[in-house]
Structures are given as structure tokens and as C-alpha cells.
């Protein structure tokens, strides 16, 4: 009889430990994804701070992004600012612009 009580107690402790771990993980996830009110600044190191910084970096990167063009000769993509325009087409270098059509 005492062995049954020991096993039941052990099973109860294991179930209790698992439930407590799951509960703490859920609370951590909720705190991590909680957004601050719009009029409140996010202090550095707060759960929402990294998401705000990431959004600012991606917005800046999109604003700084340059249009890419494809070379009519070799098919490589390159920034539009480096394009060589000839015969109504875009080329990656002067050599490809001067080369006869393939």
C-alpha cells in the first residue's frame, strides 16, 4: 500500500512540475509579444524594444533600397545607378553594351 502512495505522490509531483513549466513559458511568450501603448516609449531592454528597433531598421532599409535591373546580355542583376543604357536596353557594363547581340 505504501508503494502505491509513493508512486501516486511521484506522479503528482511530475505533473505539477510539467504544468508549472508550461505556465511560465506561456507567460514569457505573452510578455515578449505585448505591445506598449502608442503614447509610451519603450525603454531599452524591454520586450518590445527589439521589435521596434527591427521595424525601424527594415523601414530604413526599404527607403534606401535601390531598383535592380537585369543585363540584356548576361542576365545578371545590378543596381540601376550602375546601368549602361544602349539601344533602349540596360547593360551591366560597357563591354556588354558594345558587344553584338547574341
Residue 48's pLDDT is what? Answer: 54
Q: Is the pLDDT of residue 85 over 80?
A: yes
Residue 40's pLDDT is what? Answer: 55
Most confidently modeled range among 37-41, 67-71, 97-101 = 67-71
As a whole number of angstroms, the distance between CA 78 and CA 72 comes to 11
Do the beta carbons of residue 69 and residue 85 sit within 8 Å? no
- For residue 68, give every residue at least 6 positions away whose Cβ sits within 8 Å of its Cβ, in sequence order, or none: 77, 78, 79, 80
As a whole number of angstroms, the distance between CA 73 and CA 84 comes to 12
Residue 57's pLDDT is what? Answer: 73
Query: Model-level pTM?
Result: 0.41
The CB-side HSE value for 93 (13 A sphere, CA atoms) comes to: 5
Average confidence (pLDDT) over 2-10: 95
As a whole number of angstroms, the distance between CA 47 and CA 32 comes to 5
pLDDT digits (tens, 9 = 90+) for 34-61: 665 555 555 555 555 566 666 777 777 7
As a whole number of angstroms, the distance between CA 39 and CA 45 comes to 18
- Name the nearest CA neighbour of 79 among 93, 87, 69: 69
Amino acid at each position: 500500500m505504501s508503494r502505491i502512495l509513493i508512486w501516486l505522490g511521484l506522479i503528482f509531483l511530475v505533473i505539477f512540475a510539467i504544468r508549472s513549466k508550461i505556465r511560465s513559458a506561456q507567460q514569457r511568450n505573452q510578455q515578449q509579444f505585448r505591445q506598449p501603448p502608442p503614447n509610451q516609449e519603450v525603454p531599452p531592454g524591454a520586450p518590445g524594444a527589439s521589435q521596434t528597433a527591427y521595424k525601424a531598421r527594415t523601414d530604413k532599409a526599404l527607403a534606401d533600397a535601390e531598383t535592380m535591373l537585369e543585363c540584356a546580355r548576361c542576365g545578371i542583376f545590378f543596381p540601376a545607378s550602375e546601368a549602361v543604357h544602349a539601344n533602349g536596353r540596360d547593360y551591366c557594363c560597357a563591354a556588354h553594351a558594345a558587344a553584338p547581340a547574341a
